[in-house]
Structure 1
Amino acid sequence: MKKSLGHYEVIDKLGAGGMGEVYRVHDTILDRQLALKVLRFEPGTDPLYRRRINREARAIASLDHPNIVKVFSVEEFEGVHFFTMELVCGSTLSDLYLQDGFSLSRFLDIALPLASGISCAHSHGVTHHDLKPNNILVNRIEGEARLKIVDFGLARLPHQSPAGVDGPRGGSPSPAGRVFGTVAYMSPEQAQGKPSGPTSDVFSLGVIMYEILTGEAPFRGDNAAATIESVLTEDPPPLLEVRPDLPPALSSIVARCLLKDARLRYSSAIPLHGDLKNLAESQSAAGPEARREQPGVSSLRENSIFLEEEERNAGRVTGDVPPFVGESVEPVFG
C-alpha cells in the first residue's frame, strides 16, 4: 500500500476483508483521522461492475443518521478505488451479550436505535444484507448507550471467493444465485440464494432481537449447512416460553420478524421501528412495575458490563472491531 492516496496519509492498516483493505488515514486538508477502505478488484474486472460499486457506495454515502457509520466520500486516485468513513470507537454488540438475555429496558436501548438506523436506510432504498451483532457497535458516552451500524450495502456485491458462505458466525458475499451473508442471521430467501431486500433485513433484526433477549441464537447448527437447514425448516421456541417476564406484544413483534414467508413479515424496518416505539411508550406509561427487571439480570450487572467495556475501549479506535462500511474486517470479537 502506498504511503498516501492523494491528500490522505496512511497511518496504519486496521484490517482486511474480501472486498479490500482498511486503513487509518490522516486527511491533510481537513486535518482529521478517517477510516479509508481500498476496494480490491481482480484484473479484468468488468468496468460496469466498478461503476455499479460506485453507484452503491454513493447511495450508502447519502445516508445521514446518528446510528449509521457515515461514509464521507467515494474516490479514485491513480486507479485505486476507495471510500473514506468516520473512525468510530466501540465494542460489538456480541461483546455485551448476557447469558440470560437483556432486560426489557436494556433491550429497548439497543433495539430502538438499531431499528431507527435501518429504517433510514430502507427509506432511501438501501438494504444492509448482512446484519449481525459484529456489525453493530455500542459505546457508552455520558451514561448513554450509543449505537452505530456498520458494513452497509456492499455486503451484497459480488465477491471473488468461490465459497458461497462462511461459518455460522462468519460471513462472505457471493454472486447472485448463490448464498451470501452470515448464515446464523440470514433470511430463508438469502439462504436459498434468492433475491433479497428490506424484509431480509427485518428477519436478521428478528434474529438479533431474539438472541439478545434470550442469550441463545434462534437458529443453530454445527456447521454452515446445518445452520442453513435450521433457518429454512425450524422455528425457535416462542419468546414467552423462554422469557415469560416479557410483554406479549414484544413476543409478537419478534415472531413476525422471524416468519419464513417474507411477505408476512414487516415490509421494512419502518413499521417495525414504529411498533417498537409504541411498545416503549406503553411500557413507560404503565409505570415502573411493568418495567421490572428479570430476576438475575439486574441493571447493575448490565451497567458493569458497559463500564468494563468502556474502560477497555478507552482510546481504542475501530481497528479492533469491524467498524467499516463494506465487508467486516479482521480481527473481530465473538
Structure 2
Amino acid sequence: MTDSSTDNSDELLRDRDRRLEAVIVAFLDACETGKPFDREAILRENPDLADALEAFFAEHDRMQQVAAGISGLPPRQHASTTADARPSGVLGDYELLEQIGAGGMGVVYRARQKTLNRIVALKTIRPERSRDARLVERFRAEAEAAARLQHPNIVQVFDVGEADGLLFYSMQLIEGTTFAELVRDGPLPPRRAAQYVCALAEAVAYAHRQGIVHRDLKPSNILLDEHDRPRISDFGLAKVLEADRDWTRTGQILGTPAYMSPEQAGATKHPVGPATDIYALGAILYELLTGHPPFEGANSMEVLWRVRECEPVRPRRVNRSVPRDLELICLKCLARDPRDRYRNAEALVDDLNRYLEGDPVSASSMSLLGRVVRTLQRSQYDAEFLTWSHMLRHFMWIIGVTHAIVFWLLHTRADRVLPAGWFLGIRLFEFAGMAVVLLFYRKAWYPPQGGAARQLWALWLAYVVGSVTLQVITPYDLRLLYPQYAVLSGMGFVMMGAGYWGFCYVIGGAFLTLAVLMRLEPAWAPLEFGAAWGASLWVLARHLARLGPIVRSGGTSSR
C-alpha cells in the first residue's frame, strides 16, 4: 500500500505546476524590469523543480543568444547565479572558449585541447550539482557509457577526467544542426527521413550489443555533421544493461515526455530496455515525417497522459505523401506493447533497408482479430487492486447465494411470486454481507489506492444506488427487475473494460446477452444473475491472484 501522499498525487502535481509557473512568471518579470533574480536561491528553495527550471533557464538563455546574433546586439544580462557560472578559462588540459549548450545536469563548452591543439566539445557537470552524489554518479556513467562506443553515427568521446573538482569529458565538436532544428520548417521527404533513421538504428543496434540503452533519444540529441550524417549524442540517461546500479529513484520518470515509451511513462509494468530505444526511434521517424512528435499537449503532464493512454494519429493522416510501408514501420516502432515492436534494432534496420530498396517490408497492420485479442489482454492499474482478490471471492459467494435463495423461494411458492418485502429483505442481507466483508478487509482497500481505485469504487457505488433506484421507481416485478439489473451490471463491466482489464468487455457483453435471455425465460433469472456475478468475480479474483507475484516482483503481466 502507498502512503497518504500518493492518494493526493494529483493535488501535489497541480501544486507543483502552480509553483513552477509562479517562478517562471517572476523570472520573466525580472528580465523585463531589470530586477535582480537569484537563480541559485530559487533552485535551492525548490529542489523538486530544479530540473524543469534549469532546462527553462538554459533554453531562455539560448534564445537570448540567438536573438542577439540576429540583432547584432549583446544579449540582455540577468541576475547572475552559479547556475550560470562557468569554470575559469582553463579546465585541466582544456581552454574554454564559449558556452554552446546547457541542460539540467551539465554545461557544454567549445574548448581547445592544448596538448593536441584541437577544438572539441567539453561537457562538465554543473558546479551546483556536483554536491549531489546521485547526479555525479549519473554524469560519470554518461561519460563511461559514451566512451565505450565507437561508431560513425555516435559522437565520439575523446577524454574523461576531473579538474578543479569538476567532472568533464571531451568529445567531437559537431558544427551542424540538430533534428529538432531540421523539422522546424516542416516534414522531410520520406526517403530522406528513412535514411536518417536507418543510420540511427544501426548506431542504436551497436550500442545495444555493447550493453548500453540510451533511454533519451530525441531530435535535439541527434546532430547532423558536415557530411549530412546523423550523430547520436547525450547519453545522460543511458543504462548499462549488465550493471546492477541504477541512478533513478523508485517511481521516478526519466526522459522527454514526447519521446518516452509507455513503459517509461509508467503505463505498463514492462521493464525499460532496448525496446524503449526502438520506440524513441519510431517517435523520431514520426516527427521527421509529420513535422511534430506523436503526442503533444499543453504541458508535460498532458503529454505523459497521452503517451500512457492514447494511440498516435497515423502519419498518413497528417502527411499524405508518407508511403504506406514507411507508415507501417513507424507504427510498429510505436506499438504500446514492447512485444509488438521490432524484436531488436537490427530488425528495424533490415525493414528500413527493404523499404529503401523497394522490397516488401515485414511490418504489417494488426488484423482485426489481433486488435481484439490485444484489447482483451490489456490490463492496467494491477498494483492498485492486488489486495482485492480475497475480498472478491467473498463477494462471489454472498451474491451467488443471495440470488440462489431468491430462485429457491420463488420455486417453492405455488404462485411463483415472491413478496416485495421478502425480496427487499434478502437484498438487504446481500448488501449487509458485503459491508461486513468490506469492514473486515478495510486495510486492503481503504484509503483507495490511487485514481483508478477511486473510479472503481464510484462505479460500484453507482451500481448499488442504481439497483436500489430501479427497485423504487419500477413496479415490483422480478421479471422486469432482473433484466434491468443485468443491463446495469453489463454497463459497469464495459466501463471497467475501458479503464482496467480488457476482458471485462466480455463479461459486460455476457451480462447484456443474459438480460435478453432473462426476458425469454424469466423463471431462471435470479439463478442466472447470481451465477453470472459469481463467475465474473471469480474470474477477476483469479486474474488478480495470478498477477500478484508478477507485479510485486516488478515483472510484466499479460498486456
Please, what TM-score do these two structures have when normalized by structure 1?
Answer: 0.71
One-letter code aligned to 1:249:
D
In the alignment, residue 185 of structure 1 is paired with which amino acid? Y
In the TM superposition, 1:161-172 aligns within 5 A as none
Cα 1:86/1:280, change in 2 over 3 Å: same
Per-residue CA distance 1:39-87 (angstroms, 9 max, x = gap): 23646544x8745643442232121111111111111224321111111
Determine whether 1:131 maps to 2:205.
Answer: no
Distance 1:235 1:19 in 2: 32
TM superposition shift of 1:249? 2.6
Partner letter of residue 69 of structure 1? V
* Pairs within 5 Å for 1:123-162: 123-139=209-225, 141=227, 145-152=228-235, 154-155=236-237
**Map of 2:261 onto structure 1:** 187
CA distance in 2, matches of 1:23, 1:190: 30
- SS of 2:195's partner is helix
Higher RCO by CA contacts (8 Å cutoff, separation 6 or greater): 1
Q: 1:78 to 1:140 in 2, by over 3 A?
A: closer
* Residue type of the alignment partner of 1:155: L
1:261 partnered with 2:337: yes
| CA distance 1:139–1:29, change in 2 (3 Å) | closer
**Can you list the C-alpha shifts for 1:216-251, whole angstroms capped at 9, x where unaligned?**
432121111111111111112333444455443322
Greater helix proportion: 2
Q: Does 1:114 align with 2:114?
A: no
Offset from partner CA, 1:75-117 (integer Å, 9 cap, x none): 1224321111111111111222276632222222322212222
2:356 paired residue among 268, 280, 286? 280
Superposed CA offset, 1:180-238 (max 9, x none) = 21111111111128742211111111111112112243212111111111111111233
Alignment check: 8 A CA contact 1:188 1:232 kept? yes
The corresponding residue for 2:520 is none
CA drift of 1:118 comes to 1.7
**Alignment check: 8 A CA contact 1:37 1:82 kept:** yes
Contact (CA 8 Å) 2:95, 2:114: kept in 1 or not?
yes
In the alignment, the residues of structure 1 paired with residue 191 and residue 104 of structure 2 have an alpha-carbon distance, to the nearest angstrom, of 37
C-alpha distance in 2 between matches for 1:42 and 1:8: 21
Shift of 1:276: 0.8
Find the aligned partners of 1:139 and 1:43 in 2 and give their Cα distance. Answer: 31
User: 2 CA distance for matches of 1:176 and 1:263?
Assistant: 24
**Residues 49/148 of structure 1: CA separation in 2 closer, same or farther (3 Å cut):** closer
1:77 aligns with 2:151: no
CA root-mean-square deviation: 2.7
**Offset of 1:32 from its aligned partner?**
0.4
* Residue 9 (structure 1) shift: 1.7
**Alignment CA distance shift 1:80-1:139 (3 Å):** closer
Q: Percent identity?
A: 39
Gaps of 5+ in 1: 158-172, 285-334
Cα distance in structure 2, aligned partners of 1:89 and 1:191: 33
1:3 is matched with 89
Answer whether contact 1:24 1:33 (CA < 8 A) is retained. Answer: yes
Q: CA deviation at 1:259?
A: 0.9
* Equivalent residue letter for 1:138: L
What pairs up with 1:43-62 in 2 under 5 angstroms?
Answer: 45-46=132-133, 50=136, 53-62=139-148
SS in 1 for 2:279: helix
AA aligned opposite 2:181: D
2:548 corresponds in structure 1 to: none
Q: Which amino acid aligns with 2:358?
A: S
Residue 24 of structure 1 aligns with an amino acid whose one-letter code is: R
- CA separation of 1:111/1:52 partners in 2, compared to 1, >3 Å: closer, same or farther? closer
CA 56–43 in structure 1, closer or farther in 2 if over 3 Å, else same? closer
Equivalence for 2:12:
none
User: Using a 3 Å threshold, how does the CA distance of structure 1 residues 258 and 51 change in structure 2: closer, same or farther?
Assistant: closer
- Could you say if the C-alpha distance between residues 80 and 273 of structure 1 is closer, same or farther in structure 2, counting changes exceeding 3 Å? same
Question: For residues 117 and 4 of structure 1, what CA distance do their matches in structure 2 show?
Answer: 33
Secondary structure of 2:253's counterpart equals coil
Partner of 2:290: 214
Q: Quote the offset at 1:174 in angstroms.
A: 6.1
Distance 1:8 1:224, change over 3 A: same
Question: SS at the partner of 1:217?
Answer: coil
CA contact (8 A) 2:145 2:238 kept: no
Aligned length: 264
Q: Is the 8 A contact 1:60 1:126 kept in 2?
A: no
Find the aligned partners of 1:71 and 1:223 in 2 and give their Cα distance. 34
Q: Distance in 2 between matches of 1:235 and 1:50?
A: 37
Instruction: Give the corresponding residue for 2:303.
Output: 227
Kept in 2, the 8 Å contact 1:198–1:267? The answer is no
**1: CA distance, partners of 2:323 / 2:212:** 31
2:259 aligned partner, one-letter code: Y
What secondary structure sits across from 1:191 in the alignment? coil
Q: Is the 8 A contact 2:138 2:237 kept in 1?
A: no
Structure 2: stretches of 5+ with no match in the other structure: 1-86, 240-246, 361-559
**Conservation of the 8 A alpha-carbon contact between 1:68 and 1:148:** yes
2:125–2:139: 8 Å Cα contact kept in structure 1? no
SS at match of 1:148: strand
Q: TM-score, normalised by structure 2?
A: 0.44
- Do the aligned partners of 1:156 and 1:180 also contact (CA within 8 Å) in 2? no
